[in-house]
Amino acid sequence: KAGVTQTPRYLIKTRGQQVTLSCSPISGHRSVSWYQQTPGQGLQFLFEYFSETQRNKGNFPGRFSGRQFSNSRSEMNVSTLELGDSALYLCASRPGQGISYEQYFGPGTRLTVT
């Protein structure tokens, strides 16, 4: 079974622009979560989607948004990019929302804002 895939793998944007990142979960997985990883802050939870609905959200400004499609694929959007948004953005999927389900992470998208 194919793993979680994320596109693009690397991205360079300019401050003030917006960006859209894509995540395809493992086949059959309906829950998708997004995380931001930076050297200073470590891994931080952004939000989770299940059945096209945002189920939980971390402490990030409204510039960070996402959505999930009927095929469980998910996109994350960051508007008005800031230098501090440079990070590795990770997507994780799991079969459902039950507490014992484990997450499977993708390789991430490395975003650099200049």
Partner 1 sequence: DAKTTQPPSMDCAEGRAANLPCNHSTISGNEYVYWYRQIHSQGPQYIIHGLKNNETNEMASLIITEDRKSSTLILPHATLRDTAVYYCIVRVGYNFNKFYFGSGTKLNVKP
Stretch that binds partner 1, among 11-19, 29-37, 65-73, 74-82 (CB under 8 A): 29-37
CB of 114 to partner 1, least distance (A): 20
Stretch that binds partner 1, among 10-18, 38-46, 61-69, 77-85 (CB under 8 A): 38-46
Q: Among residues 27, 80, 97, 114, which is the contact residue for partner 1, using CB under 8 A?
A: 97
Distance CA 40, CA 18 (A): 23
Q: Among residues 56, 77, 80, 114, which is the contact residue for partner 1, using CB under 8 A?
A: 56
- Chain contacts with partner 1 (rule: CB under 8 A): 4, 31, 33, 35, 42-45, 48, 55-56, 58, 90, 92, 94, 97-100, 102-108
